[in-house]
Amino acid sequence: MTNKEENLPFKIGNATVLPGTTKTIYFPISIIPHYSTFKLTLRIIHGRRPGKRLFISAGIHGDELNGIEVIRRVLNSPLVKHIRGTLIAIPVVNVFGMLIQSRYLPDRRDLNRSFPGSETGSAAAQLAHTFLKEIVEHCTHGIDLHTGSNNRINLPQVRCDFESKEALDLAFAFGAPLVLKADLREGSLREASEKLGIPTLTFEGGEALRFNEFAIRAAVQGIFRVMGRLGMIPLEKCVSIRKHPVISHGSHWLRAPDTGFFHTTAFLGEKVLKGKVIGKIMSSLGLVSADVVPPLDGIIIGMNQSPIVYKGDALFNIAWVHDATQAEETIEALREEVEVNPSLDDPTTY
């Protein structure tokens, strides 16, 4: 190995990570009322050879736990032991929210609407500022892991801006069942990262406060595929994609036509047809009901799981697709591949 192939020490905050080593780093963020320091925990794997610098983050919304398990499995996999470049893993960004099982920070703000943040702003603004300056700006690429919220469950999917060729290429490489065109939202981590020229994917899958094995396995597989595409790990060691993901240029939330008790036999990944009833809202006595009818053909990529709904509540997130029947078949095939693949099992059981 020549000197040109040697990696340089990786400096982040006040810490230095030597090539070929792994280090846990703690960033002090703020002081909570009883004077204890709130710390952001990072696990950094710095390869011996230079390469891309990828951050994977989870728990920006404190009640979204799936990503924490995803990152744990990635860090415990043999695939990350001899990487090129640097992997920065942040399993819990919003520690406050996780501890109280809340989406938000104590200032009642959504961290994923608070970027790029401010040194002198609210708790959310300070955390967003520190995360962006001390972590994201050191990276070349990013993956941010999320789930559904408020009694909603999401089909595993990657959201990106189709205007970014590199982000779209990585979204295809990820290989989730669905790639959804999603405009950059003001104040989001993805928007702030993209403005810095750092292509960043948002992964959605599963539900708040629960582990969802299908979504976890799909995300683990996807992260390794992205690392393979970036040259951080050998591409041939990643699980190959047998079917290309379903592509959607947008989605539409179908809302409750009335207040009552929600009944449906529809499920994630299922096709829906315009005008065909896919659910009912009923009164407690069953004397009054309202049909839930989609206004378009598409695929269900998110749905409400609460039996009690109010008029206007979001019930189904329906993605627009070119061929709903073909999309349903593709999603089911990808689901089967993920669920039966032994390489995606919890690595701590190896």
Q: Domain 3-247+339-349, what architecture? A: 3-Layer(aba) Sandwich (3.40)
The segment(s) of the chain belonging to CATH 3.40.630.10 are: 3-247+339-349
Q: Which long-range contacts (CB under 8 A, 24 or more apart) does 187-191 make?
A: 187/110, 187/112, 187/113, 187/114, 187/115, 188/112, 188/113, 188/115, 189/57, 189/60, 189/112, 189/115, 189/128, 189/131, 189/132, 189/136, 189/142, 189/144, 190/144, 190/159, 190/160, 190/161, 191/115
Q: Which CATH code for domain 251-319?
A: 2.40.50.100
Q: What are the pLDDT tens digits along the chain (350 aa)? A: 445 678 999 999 889 999 999 999 998 876 566 556 678 899 999 999 999 999 999 999 999 999 999 999 999 999 999 999 999 999 999 998 998 999 998 888 999 999 999 988 888 998 999 999 999 999 999 999 999 998 999 999 999 989 889 999 999 999 999 999 999 999 999 999 999 999 999 999 999 999 999 999 999 999 999 999 999 999 888 887 778 899 999 999 999 999 999 999 999 999 999 999 999 999 999 888 999 999 999 999 999 999 999 999 999 999 999 999 999 999 999 998 888 776 666 666 43
Instruction: Return residue ranges of the chain for CATH 2.40.50.100.
Output: 251-319
